[in-house]
Amino acid sequence: VDVRLDLFAEIERLKKEKNAIVLAHYYQEPDIQDVADYIGDSLGLSQQAAKTDADIIVFAGVHFMAETAKILSPQKKVLLPDLKAGCSLADSAPPELFRKFKEKHPDHLVISYINCSAGIKALSDIICTSSNAEKIIESVPKDQPIIFAPDRNLGAYLAKKTGRDMLLWNGACMVHEIFSLEKITKLKIRHPKAKVIAHPECEAAVLDIADYIGSTTALLNFSKKDEAKEYIVVTETGILHQMQMENPSKTFIPAPPNNACACNDCPHMKLNTLEKLYLCMEYEEPEITMNEQLRIAAKKPIERMLEISA
């Protein structure tokens, strides 16, 4: 990239010239959030992807999110700034292994968290996100056995919350499992008035001490409505940018990871940069392409989710 380029201005120009929309996840770096047309969590982003009339969707997030956009809008070109932006949680459920697991429990309905590959979606009955998971689970008759995949922490949290006994796939997110209960407790002693707010992908021991648990969007909304002045935020650090912009007088402290070398930035999300965003818009690649049969099979459970959470 020519260092003299004003990337912010260039991205705005390319958006207009190409009728492109930039969708960014809350975990993207602040510069990317600032140029986005829409910033959201996976539910909000998939709803935007389903309804936009842009010709090109530039998806600043990870692969499964851009893939979901392509599943919903196949006639549109979907670009991802870095094709290597994957997801440790999605990778923890390889479709072939999951198929075998599912075959052992043929009477179970499969509810999968949207953080999974198209292959897992195609094997699922309904998709959910952390924003709508309770509603989705409650839409299923009480006597219907459920498999929940791929996140065991979110699954355990939801099982407790809804009183459903769900069979859990043993997957997890590397970022949300990195938090240290001990370090959060010590931080809380130094900031006694701070509220601990956590994402349900965190381990149960961390969720047990949280003052509020919610999806990315729910945490952001809580930070606006709640009257506390300080918060210990137990999720990916990217969300602090919007929290701080919405609440300039409040303090947001990222929860500490369990060791000094670890970090609560998602390494996959952070592969995207403003430079790569610009380059992918200029050259229209990398592009998400999909096998049409897989796309149709993966679309069904997403549509069920969008209907239930409309």
Known binding positions: 25, 42, 87, 113-115, 130, 173, 199-201, 216, 266
Closest among 136, 264, 142, 140 to 198, alpha carbons compared: 264
Backbone angles phi, psi at 233, to 5 degrees: -100, 115
Closest among 246, 306, 261, 309 to 71, alpha carbons compared: 306
User: What is the DSSP track for 58-113?
Assistant: EEES-HHHHHHHHHH-TTSEEE-S-TT---HHHHTS-HHHHHHHHHT-TTPEEEEE
Which residue lies nearer to ligand CIZ by CB, 102 or 215? 215
Which residue lies nearer to ligand CIZ by CB, 14 or 112? 112
Q: How far is the CB of 171 from ligand SF4 (least distance, A)?
A: 9
Considering only residues 71, 72, 122, 173, which one is a binding residue for ligand SF4 as defined by CB under 6 A?
173
Which residue lies nearer to ligand SF4 by CB, 129 or 309? 129
Q: Which of residues 82-121 bind ligand SF4 (CB under 6 A)?
A: 87-89, 115
Half-sphere exposure of 30 (CA within 13 A, CB side): 7
Segment contacting ligand SF4 (CB under 6 A): 116-124, 161-169, 178-186, 265-273?
265-273
Q: What is the rounded radius of gyration, in angstroms, for the C-alpha atoms of the chain? A: 19
Three-state secondary structure call for residue 278? helix
The number of angstroms, rounded, from the C-alpha of 38 to the middle of its chain's C-alpha atoms is: 14
For residue 199, state whether it binds ligand CIZ (rule: CB under 6 A): yes
Considering only residues 174, 218, 253, 306, which one is a binding residue for ligand SF4 as defined by CB under 6 A?
174
Residue 283, Cβ density class (10 Å: 0-12 exposed, 13-18 middle, ≥19 buried) = exposed
Which residue lies nearer to ligand CIZ by CB, 11 or 65? 65
> Which string of x and - marks every residue 85-124 that binds ligand CIZ (by CB under 6 A)?
------------------------------x---------
The site partner of 41 among ligand CIZ, ligand SF4, none (C-beta below 5 to 8 Å per kind) is: ligand CIZ
Considering only residues 29, 82, 201, 203, which one is a binding residue for ligand CIZ as defined by CB under 6 A?
201
Considering only residues 14, 29, 32, 42, which one is a binding residue for ligand CIZ as defined by CB under 6 A?
42
> Letter for the amino acid at 131?
S
Residue with tokens 């459903």: 164
The site partner of 268 among ligand CIZ, ligand SF4, none (C-beta below 5 to 8 Å per kind) is: ligand SF4
The site partner of 216 among ligand SF4, ligand CIZ, none (C-beta below 5 to 8 Å per kind) is: ligand CIZ
Q: Confirm if 302 and 46 have CB atoms less than 8 A apart.
A: yes
Segment contacting ligand SF4 (CB under 6 A): 8-16, 93-101, 262-270, 288-296?
262-270
Considering only residues 130, 153, 162, 309, which one is a binding residue for ligand CIZ as defined by CB under 6 A?
130
Q: Which of residues 7-66 bind ligand SF4 (CB under 6 A)?
A: 62
Cα angle at 107 between 102 and 111, to 5 degrees? 60
The Cα–Cα gap between 120 and 99 comes to 8
Interface contacts to ligand SF4, rule CB under 6 A: 62, 87-89, 115, 173-175, 236, 266, 268-269
